[in-house]
Amino acid sequence: MPTPVTVYRWDDAGAPQITEPYGTANQIKAVLDACLVNGYGAKQPLGWSKVFDDANGVVYQNDTSKGGSGGMVRFWPYAGDWGGRLSTSSGMLFQAAKSFINSEVSHHSGFTQSFYHPVSSTTQTKAWVVIGTASAFYLILAWVSETGSNNHPRYKVSASNYYQCELFVGDYTKDLAADAGQFIAFHSPASSDETSSNWASSLGSMVRDIGSTSSTTGVKIFAADNSTSFELYSPRVTFERSSIHIADDSAEILGIAPIPLMNDASKNIPALIDPTKPTLRGYMPGLINTMRGLNKDSYWPQELTIDGHRYFQLHSADANCSHVWINMEQW
């Protein structure tokens, strides 16, 4: 049964604001608290719980009463300074785990990754968007030209190698009947813990296709039977990105595909499926891949109605069109 989605934005009435260049850990935590736990203005929270909150980190858990796995995610500043400005080399770290026993110690933890708000100016708006449910959410931190008057690529959907933060936290849509590794958090494929980020550290850099074989980078997902073994899975696109620019909002996107999490090429899926670490592990919730990309030079944020539902377009990390959209209504 579809799950209703809530969209939170920096320009909502009563929304918390990120005001410092690159943001601070406290300001990002305030956004997460508001969207996940407390709500703001007329908007109710997603229903997550804050399990731990101290100088070592803040840990959130998704809502098991609404179908969540009970997985947890920790956020903390690399330098330990919650009030200081973040940066490329000293960002906000995050890590998913099956569980945390305190704000530092975890069980079955994924790779650590880093992010920060891309806006370096003291005067410009530090836009943010959270799109989510009781079990998963997407966080986007981006440049925005609210008047549509600044023509620099960092304000556009195609970011042309300018950093924009886009990350996922929560349960993927599992393919197995039971999957103990369902809760993940990442912004890009990795091979180990990371403490810095760059323009490709974003969901917008999603380029691996379903025909690609196994890789040394991916999302660390533990075995479905709750054992300590794990595999690296990557979100896979069916339709490759293109530099062809379509400027018509009513243009036909031609085709839609879900975005699966896979550890090998689709052609290599064996006849006998591994019950704990199958090639196809599941799907990114609410995320679709369209055959045609639209409006690469449009100002962010950009929305579009596709098959009767409203969708939010992810950035393309480079100069190509973005072919990836988040359903804003139901997952």
Check residue 157 and give its pLDDT.
86
Q: What is the spatial distance between Cα 225 and Cα 228, in angstroms, rounded to a whole number?
A: 9
Dig out the tokens for 300 from the structure: 């962010």
Residue 217: band (very low, low, confident or very high) from pLDDT cuts 50, 70, 90? very high
In a domain, 116, yes or no: yes
Residue 251: band (very low, low, confident or very high) from pLDDT cuts 50, 70, 90? low
Over range 70-92, report the average pLDDT. 97
Check residue 250 and give its pLDDT.
66
Check residue 316 and give its pLDDT.
86
In a domain, 156, yes or no: yes
In a domain, 39, yes or no: yes
206: Cα within 13 Å, side-chain hemisphere: 32
In a domain, 306, yes or no: yes
Higher local confidence (pLDDT), 78 or 162: 78
Dig out the tokens for 164 from the structure: 């924009």
* Domain with 149 in it: 6-327
What is the overall mean pLDDT for the chain? 93
**Does 295 have pLDDT greater than 80?**
no
**Does 41 have pLDDT greater than 80?**
yes
In a domain, 65, yes or no: yes
Check residue 245 and give its pLDDT.
65
In a domain, 247, yes or no: yes
Where is average pLDDT lowest: 113-117, 194-198, 327-331? Answer: 194-198
112 CB-near residues (< 8 Å, 6+ apart): 93, 94, 95, 193, 194, 195
Check residue 116 and give its pLDDT.
98
Alpha-carbon distance values, 287 to 76, 148, 194, 261 (Å): 27, 27, 25, 12
Check residue 298 and give its pLDDT.
84
End-to-end alpha-carbon separation of the chain, Å?
9
Q: Which of 128, 175, 137 is nearest to 3 (CA)?
A: 137
Instruction: State how many domains the chain has.
Output: 1
**Does 208 have pLDDT greater than 90?**
no
In a domain, 1, yes or no: no
Over range 106-128, report the average pLDDT. 97
DSSP helix/strand/coil, 155: helix
Check residue 249 and give its pLDDT.
62
DSSP helix/strand/coil, 72: strand
Q: What is the spatial distance between Cα 39 and Cα 30, in angstroms, rounded to a whole number?
A: 11
